[in-house]
Amino acid sequence: MTTAIAVTESELVLDEVASKAVEEVARKVCEVAAGRLDEPEWIAAAREAWDDLPASVRRALRGFRRHSGPHGALLVRGLPVDGETLPPTPVVKGSVQRTATVQAAVLMLVASGLGDPAAYLAEKAGAMVQDVVPVPGQEEIQGNVGSTLLSLHTENAFHSHRPDIVQLLCLRADHEGAAGLRVACVREALPMLREETKEALHRPEYVTAAPPSFGGGGETEPHSILSGASDDPDLRVDFAATRATTDRAGVALAELETSLTAVEHTIRLVPGDLAIVDNRVTTHGRTAFRPRYDGGDRWVQRVFVLTDLRRSRHQRPSDGAVLVG
C-alpha cells in the first residue's frame, strides 16, 4: 500500500513506499515519444499517468489547487531524484532539459494534476523543463542565472498570461547549503497594510519590465498590483522590475515590500524537495549563495502551470503548450 504523510498544511512528506510508486509511474512516462519530453505525446502521457500516482499524493495536490492555504506554497519532500546518474550541474545560460528523466517526468506529472504545463517561446526557447542554475559572469543578475539575493516577485509579472503555479524541484543543493527559496504570500501580508495602501495597490498606477530571461525590453501598460476580491486579492509585482507611476503608488509599493518581507519564509531545498508556489498570491525569491562552477553547484528544475489553459488559447499555436506572445 502506498502512503504519504502530511506533516502540516503546507508540507507533504512521502515515505519510501510512496516515493517508489511515484518513480515507477515516472519511468513509464519516460518511455513515451522516445524520451523527447517536449513532444505532445510525452506531455499527454504525463497527463494520463497522473491517475496512476498514489491516491494520497493526488488528494493533497488537489486540495492545494482548490486553495493554496495561508502561505500559498506547498513543499513536497521525498520525491525520486536519481543522484547517482545525475550529470554535472550545467553552467550555460538558457540551460533546459530536453530528454526524459525521472525527475522531469515527476515535474510534468504533478503539473498535470495542478493544471496544464506551459512554457514561453521567448524564454529558453519554450522548453517545458527549465534549469535554474548559476552561470559564470551572471552572478548579479536578477534572474534564474544569478546567485546574488533574488528579489521577491511573482513569476513573469509583466506577462498577460502569467503562470498560475510555479514548480521548483531540487536536484542538487549548493555546497554550503546557503541558498534558500524565499516565499511570501499576500494573504499573510494583507492585514499589515493600511487601508489607503490597499486602495492604492488596486489602482492601475504601476508598470513592469520584462526580466532578463525574456531579453528585457519595454514596460507593460499601467496595471494594478492587487486585483480581485478585497479579502483575498491576486498579486502582480516584481520588486526588481515594477515601478510606481505616482507618488502615492510608490509609497504603497514600498509598504507592500516591507510587509511581504516581514512574513516571508525561507526554505532550504534538498534533493527530492519540490516547492509548489501559487503564483497568483505568493511571491518568491532566493537568498544569496556562492557557486563554485565545479559541476556540483545548486541545480533546480522548473515547470510552469496554467490552471485555465483556454485563457491563453490565442497565444498557443495549434493548441500547444508554448505561448508565443
Paired residues of 305 in beta bridges: 117, 165
Query: What is the Cα–Cα distance from 11 to 15, expressed in whole angstroms?
Result: 13
User: pTM of the predicted model, to two decimals?
Assistant: 0.96
- Mean pLDDT, range 295-322, rounded to an integer: 96
Contacts of 220 (CB under 8 A, 6+ apart): 158, 207, 208, 209
Q: Is the pLDDT of residue 55 over 80?
A: yes
Q: Are 189 and 263 in contact (CB under 8 A)?
A: yes
pLDDT score, position 85: 83
Residue 166 exposed, middle or buried by CB count within 10 Å (0-12, 13-18, 19+): buried
What is the total count of domains within the chain? Answer: 1
Pairing of strands 11-14, 73-77: parallel
Q: CATH code at 74? A: 3.60.130.10
Give the residue numbers spanning the domain of 103: 4-323
Joined together, the cell numbers standing for residue 127 give 522548453
* pLDDT tens by residue, 226-260: 999 999 999 999 999 999 999 999 999 999 999 99
Mean pLDDT of the chain: 94
Give Cα 32 to chain centroid, integer Å.
25
* pLDDT tens by residue, 130-172: 999 999 999 999 999 999 999 999 999 999 999 999 999 999 9
